Amino acid sequence: MGILDVLMDVVKQPALIVGLFSFIGLMALRKPFHKVLTGTLRPVLGYIMMMAGANIIVANLEPLGQMIHEGFHITGVVPSNEAIVASASRLLGTETMFILVAGLMMNLVIARLTKFKYVFLTVHHSFFMACLLSAVLGTIGLSGVELVLAGGFLLGAWSSISPAIGQKYTNRVTHGDHIALGHFGSLAYYISAWVGSKAGKAEDNIESMEIPEKWAFLKDTNVSTALTMIVFFLLAAFAAGPDYVSTISHGMSPVIFAIMAGLEFAVGVAVVSSGINMMLGDLIPAFKGVSEKVIPNAVPAVDCVAFFNYAPTAVVLGFVSSFVGGVLGMLLLGFAGGVLIVPGLVAHFFCGAAAGIFGNATGGRRGAALGAFTNGLLITFAAALLIPVFEGLGFKNTTFGDFDFNVVGMALSMAYRFLGTFGIYALMALVLVVLVAPNFMKTKNRVINQDEDT
């Protein structure tokens, strides 16, 4: 195995990328060895713990989705980032990895040379976007170095621009913590925050609701999550029937299976929460070194899961509201004779939770509910619009689940449809102007969309 292979393996591991930035920051701050060691390992361990919790959540959402589909006889397309990435990687694996590396490097160059100071650390989403770009750009005729450079530029640019678009909302969520959102569902979260601002008041924050003493146990996020998910699983199990449930429960009683699945789901959320605390507790101080010595004013852009601790109750409300929006969107598509987009529980949990958090920050509990409901509609209709694009690329009955992928895919597809290859380069030129123009403009802060107090 050569050095290039080792480097490619490192790039595929987001935990190592997070640790590397922590290491660079701590070394830049000239911290003693023992602090460099712990300050590097803790973010790595925290990220791995966060992803382990996410895997527990996903593992328990799968049988829930199966029972819902069986119980309510729903058939159609289930948007899945992983499914379409697997297909794209088989066809354009080499090009995808080169675009990924070029995009990560371009993101750092942009952060160093422009006012878009966001360092995108959610590398698995960068990989997903690299797959989308390699598929779309490769199909329209780009190849070789041209494909890698165009894809890498677009990946790096969107990794820098997307956190900036809604940083004012992110600051509301984090109360000014020096982090940004690095997730390619971000546009839907920002729209959810805007909807939340119109739907309610920020002072009605769901986390500060007064609850009667006899219901005080619901303020324990682990308990409320467990109870909510147990109800979800029980309803799905009863709808699917004991005969079907026995095929996925390995003979366990449907009721006990549903209860245990709900409890395990809550454990997954608790593990995610612990991982977030460990990762951000050391990553943010270490990033001060990157910000001071390597990339002035650098801001880490992290996974949406890292925001769950800011409003844990909004996580559950966001999931439920987004799922309801997805069901309504599916019914509307069915009545309109369109492609039936079946709500994917993974997308609705993670994206819906983030949308609920952002909606809560601007509109309290009403904002959380309506913002996440809007997210559910957005990811449903956007997925339906992108289905024809992917069918044209040779991917049948599949599409991305998160909003930004669908928006970028449609933008590139429309640019090519109306203007051919020139349209792609025109779009890239426009993006370049967006990146460079603020350098020649007077803004309130050296970081785009950062408030003065951050």
Residue with tokens 């422009």: 114
Burial of 415 (0-12, 13-18, 19+ CB in 10 A): buried
- Between β-strands 180-181 and 299-302, what pairing exists: parallel, antiparallel or unpaired? parallel
pTM of the model: 0.84
> For residue 290, what is the DSSP state?
I
pLDDT tens digits, one per residue of 17-55: 888 888 988 888 888 998 899 999 998 998 888 888 888
| Of 382, 392, 228, 399, residue with least CA distance to 312 | 228
SS3 99: helix
Query: Angle at the Cα of 195 (from 193 to 201), degrees rounded to 5?
Result: 80
Token duo for residue 58: 């996903």
SS3 16: helix
Residue with tokens 């950062």: 450
Q: Determine the distance from the C-alpha atom of residue 145 to the mean position of all C-alpha atoms in its chain, rounded to a whole number.
A: 29
Token duo for residue 205: 């924050």
| The predicted structure's pLDDT at residue 337 | 77
Q: Determine the distance from the C-alpha atom of residue 408 to the mean position of all C-alpha atoms in its chain, rounded to a whole number.
A: 15
SS3 276: helix
| Of 447, 50, 100, residue with least CA distance to 287 | 447
pLDDT tens digits, one per residue of 320-358: 999 999 999 999 988 887 778 888 888 898 999 999 999
- Which amino acid does the sequence have at 394? G
| The predicted structure's pLDDT at residue 97 | 79
**How many Å apart are CA 350 and CA 360, to the nearest integer?**
15
Beta strands in 213-342 (DSSP E): 299-302
Query: Angle at the Cα of 405 (from 330 to 158), degrees rounded to 5?
Result: 150
User: What 3 state SS string does 313-375 have?
Assistant: HHHHHHHHHHHHHHHHHHHHHHHCCCCCECCCHHHHHHHHHHHHHHHHHHHHHHHHHHHHHHH
**How many Å apart are CA 306 and CA 273, to the nearest integer?**
8
| Of 253, 255, 177, 225, residue with least CA distance to 353 | 225
| The predicted structure's pLDDT at residue 192 | 97
| The predicted structure's pLDDT at residue 50 | 80
Query: Do 305 and 269 touch, CB atoms closer than 8 A?
Result: no
Query: Do 47 and 279 touch, CB atoms closer than 8 A?
Result: yes
**How many Å apart are CA 388 and CA 401, to the nearest integer?**
15
Beta strands in 211-351 (DSSP E): 299-302
| Angstrom distances, CA of residue 450 to CA of 61, 88, 201, 246 | 36, 36, 22, 53
| The predicted structure's pLDDT at residue 213 | 62
> Any idea where the domains of the chain sit in the sequence?
3-440
| The predicted structure's pLDDT at residue 392 | 66
Within 13 A of 270's CA, how many CA atoms are on the CB side? 13
**How many Å apart are CA 364 and CA 199, to the nearest integer?**
9
Token duo for residue 343: 């709500």
| The predicted structure's pLDDT at residue 68 | 80
Nearby residues of 372 by Cβ (< 8 Å), 6 or more positions away? 192, 317, 318, 319, 320, 321, 322, 325, 352, 353, 355, 356, 359
| The predicted structure's pLDDT at residue 453 | 44
Sign of CA dihedral 132, 406, 331, 350: positive
What CA dihedral angle connects 114, 302, 379 and 230, to 10 degrees?
-170
- Which amino acid does the sequence have at 325? G
| The predicted structure's pLDDT at residue 186 | 95
Checking 82-85 for CB contacts under 8 A at 24+ apart, the result is 83/398, 84/131, 84/390, 84/395, 84/398, 84/399, 84/400, 85/127, 85/128, 85/131
Query: Do 120 and 164 touch, CB atoms closer than 8 A?
Result: no
Per-residue pLDDT of the chain (454 residues; tens, 9 = 90+): 667 677 767 766 778 888 888 898 888 888 899 889 999 999 899 888 888 888 888 788 788 878 888 887 776 777 777 666 666 666 666 788 789 889 989 999 999 999 999 999 888 889 889 988 988 888 788 888 999 999 999 999 999 999 999 999 999 999 877 899 999 999 999 999 999 999 999 988 988 876 666 655 556 777 878 888 898 889 889 988 999 998 998 888 999 999 999 899 889 888 888 887 888 788 878 877 777 778 888 899 999 988 998 999 899 899 999 999 999 999 998 888 777 888 888 889 899 999 999 999 999 999 999 999 999 999 999 988 888 777 766 666 667 888 999 899 889 989 998 888 999 999 999 999 999 999 888 766 666 666 544 4
| The predicted structure's pLDDT at residue 66 | 84
